[in-house]
Structure 1
């Protein structure tokens, strides 16, 4: 594949507010969307989100190594599904400003499903003509990260949501902690970060601070831990998200706390009325229609990157993330090989 980088194919998103606080497990921000609709004071503000639609000219830009004559995109392929939105949940934890956790949500209100696709932090992407890890592009802000994912996957990112670290702990503490099955023994210390993670495998009751440690864990001091490090950690985060969601919905008396946490700790380009509409739809769909997957690929020692499997990624994009009526094609992807 040639080493020249094309411009991002989607430049349509509305201006995003910047978050000046350190952010982390943004996946929990999505749960807070549910809380907004349950507060009566916001009912009059409910309105359906209206994402900016990419222009045919922008979406027809050739991918890396393609020739423009063969990559023109007919306008008809850009017709969007009604009630389908993509929402990037993203935050940092690595101490260098890079993104540590990214989940791209396919929110299908008409189809009645919410699909979360986790993006491994070492996923290979093209950034300014070079093959980089996706968390590298996030160092330059949420807009750059969203543009990079759009260019990689060939679909627009409609909205973004971030929650800071204090919000994560506050949310878990607001529901008086959760009972969670820690998947493996965790024994890790990092004096530079003043971080100590020590848990035995099995059911544990976790408050906010301990929950944060469990979802941050990658490997033990002796190098053991998850066999696949980031992929194993992603599975733990996904399982934890569902556990928290169940307890949140079982505690409607905590709604005031949820909304306060959302207001204090979440940064998003969604308007309040749009959040309320999404929350209303999420409540209607219920947890049985919430699922998580991970972008398929494999680690490459040669490239020191997690390289995406083109065929499997295309299938997942069309099943879970594509907001268009017409399926995306292999030429719409822009993957590092």
Structure 2
């Protein structure tokens, strides 16, 4: 029975109902406001966690940015650097006793334009590469170092934070790929990330002991990891990816294989929990406390947006491999032309099985019957396998040697040197060759219409670029990589859905 309010004339139950609805509306609004405020505070906290490095140390001579496909999509190249800096709490987790920072791990992640394929390429830390000029803390630039260990680029300047811009410059010089974002994570951040996801499933071919992690221990010590599958997090996860001795030949190459298996398992774990902000934010909270990123990725929202852009990548289409390599004494040399073909494929956004990931529906349309003129066809297709070329820029136009080297490598040539010529006033492009090398030099000249062939007084082939090449070369495009599968050293990559116990050692 309802009670009528004599003063207002309203039915009591109806009034109570209206008040109840108003209270519910205000309560809902308050809850939403609190949720928005909490979300804002969380992002504010994450942003406060992040450290960034400035762009002043990034090279002025960079590869061109990747072009968009017919649907406006572009591939993304992200450089992931694992740092063993001794600052903060990292020394307690396994950092060395000396100062400075070194890069124990470097992976170039290429996300294809379709955002349904991705490839992570590990770069061995002992690889001998060219380290281009890099910025020092006193704002001077180092000289070019033509044959240096790859991981020494991160140590240039000898600071606790390392030099991610120098590593980025080195990778761009090596690959001809423009790095869109660089991300550095240290020991503490890595350990916290694995704890945030509840542990990661890993595997080992045999039991591992304290002496395997620390060969100076002088004894086997206690068992750290059992043989087979197990879940690791925190310090144990860090120990797993750093184990080198006692497995295979004890090399960094074998450790790289286990790091790839670990990242594959981490991706599986995150995708299994759901790729949404609810699950990603706790992971971001853990990571950002020890993360250094470029300014273009310097906010929590950008990090989460990038992670969300990968949600449609199938585990089978996430691949991991190590750039083709061979031992050179105690160091590692990259194998050519296999490595060159890998970089050319990524520049052309071709998957490891030779498919074009940038292709859209329009790409399958019938080809036009209209003939193509010789002038618009560009340089003829050339097979440069086994031919070594030094490239010199004979003009004042920056970036020509890098551009020409990329064109040569895309056609299978091996580029032995990229430098400025003694004279910077060459009008025409010149191809010089040694005794018996004319046929090979003609193949080089075929890629550079109008180039002059000239016998030289030294062995080898040298391409000197003139103003004619500077006037005609298009800095935004590169020749497509050859169609079809890549060499076995490249195409036999690890998939993220592969069994965690497979392919974990070398030697």
Q: CA 1:168–1:133 in structure 2 vs 1: closer, same or farther (change >3 Å)?
A: same
Asked if 2 retains the 8 angstrom alpha-carbon contact of 1:189 and 1:197, the reply is no
Q: 1:139 matched to which residue of 2? A: 155
Quick one: which of 338, 342, 346 aligns to 1:312? 338
Query: Given that residues 190 and 287 in structure 2 are in contact (C-alpha distance below 8 angstroms), is that contact kept between their aligned partners in structure 1?
Result: no
Q: Is 1:294 matched with 2:339?
A: no
CA distance in 1, matches of 2:272, 2:416: 42
**Which stretch of structure 1 is more off in the superposition, 158-167 or 184-193?**
184-193
Residues 153, 332 of structure 1: 8 Å contact kept: no
Match of 1:89 in 2: 80
Q: Deviations over 1:272-314 (max 9, x none)?
A: 354344222200223232111110010111xx32111121011
Distance in structure 1 (CA, Å) of the matches to 2:327 and 2:184: 27
The structure-2 alpha-carbon separation of the partners of 1:184 and 1:122, relative to structure 1 and needing over 3 Å to count, comes to farther
8 Å contact from structure 1 (residues 154, 328) kept in 2: no
Equivalent-residue separation in structure 2 for 1:137 and 1:100 (angstroms):
12
Query: How does 1:175-190 map onto structure 2 within 5 Å?
Result: 175-187=197-209, 188-190=212-214
- Match of 1:314, SS state, is helix
Secondary structure at 2:167's aligned position in 1? helix
Change (3 A) 1:256 1:84: closer
SS in 2 for 1:284: coil
Task: Provide closer, same or farther for how the CA distance between residues 107 and 333 of structure 1 changes in structure 2, counting only shifts above 3 A.
Answer: farther
Which of 114, 127, 143 pairs up with 1:123?
A: 127
Deviations 1:184-226 (A, max 9, x none): 4433253989x98732331223222111101101113xxxx22
How is 1:208-227 mapped onto 2 (pairs within 5 angstroms)? 208-220=234-246, 225-227=247-249
1:261, distance to aligned residue in structure 2 (A): 1.4
Instruction: Evaluate the alpha carbon distance shift between residue 179 and residue 106 of structure 1 in structure 2; reply closer, same or farther with a 3 A threshold.
Output: closer
What is residue 118 of structure 2 aligned with on the other side? 114
Indicate how the Cα distance of structure 1 residues 319 and 171 shifts in structure 2: closer, same or farther if over 3 A, else same. same
- Where 2:165 maps in the other structure, the secondary structure is helix
Among candidates 228, 231, 235, match of residue 253 of structure 2: 231
Q: Are 1:86 and 1:321, in contact at CA under 8 Å, matched by a contact in 2?
A: no
CA contact (8 A) 1:104 1:117 kept: yes
Aligned to 2:177: 155
- Tell me the TM-score normalized by structure 2: 0.46
1:171 equivalent to 2:171? Answer no
The whole-number CA distance in structure 1 between the counterparts of 2:187 and 2:318 is 24
Partners of 1:116 and 1:165 in 2: CA distance: 20
Q: Contact 1:90–1:99 at 8 Å: present in 2 too? A: yes
In 2, the alpha carbon distance for the partners of 1:329 and 1:228 equals 36
- State how far apart, in whole Å, the 1-side matches of 2:146 and 2:341 are: 26
Match of 1:104 in 2: 108
Which of 50, 61, 67 is the aligned partner of 1:80? Answer: 67
Q: Which stretch of the first structure deviates more once superposed, 237-246 or 181-190?
A: 181-190
Deviations 1:93-118 (A, max 9, x none): 37352211000011113262111000
Q: 1:323, 1:332 → 2: CA distance? A: 21
- CA gap 1:172/1:328 in 2 versus in 1, 3 angstroms: farther
Match of 1:247 in 2: 269
Contact 1:124 1:335 in 2 (8 A): no
Q: Per the alignment, in what secondary structure is the counterpart of residue 310 of structure 2?
A: helix
Mark the CA change 1:317 to 1:139 in structure 2 (over 3 Å): closer, same or farther: same
Distance 2:280 2:199 in 1: 16
C-alpha distance in structure 2 between counterparts of 1:117 and 1:182, whole Å: 22
In 2, Cα distance between equivalents of 1:91 and 1:208:
15
Q: Which has more radius of gyration?
A: 2
- Residue matched to 2:292: 267
- Residue 258 of structure 1: aligned partner: 283
Higher relative contact order (CA 8 A, sep 6+): 1
Summarize the Cα distance change of 1:217–1:197 in structure 2 as closer, same or farther, 3 Å threshold: farther
Question: Are 1:106 and 1:321, in contact at CA under 8 Å, matched by a contact in 2?
Answer: no
Of 118-127 and 201-210, deviating more is 201-210
Contact 2:115 2:309 in 1 (8 A): no
In 2, the alpha carbon distance for the partners of 1:299 and 1:191 equals 22
- Taking a change above 3 Å as real, the CA distance of residues 125 and 277 of structure 1, as seen in their structure-2 partners, is same
Of the candidates 408, 425, 432, which is equivalent to residue 329 of structure 1? 408
CA distance 1:334–1:211, shift in 2 (3 Å): farther
* In 1: Cα distance, 2:282 partner to 2:62 partner: 42
Contact 1:181 1:201 in 2 (8 A): yes
CA RMSD of aligned residues (A): 3.5
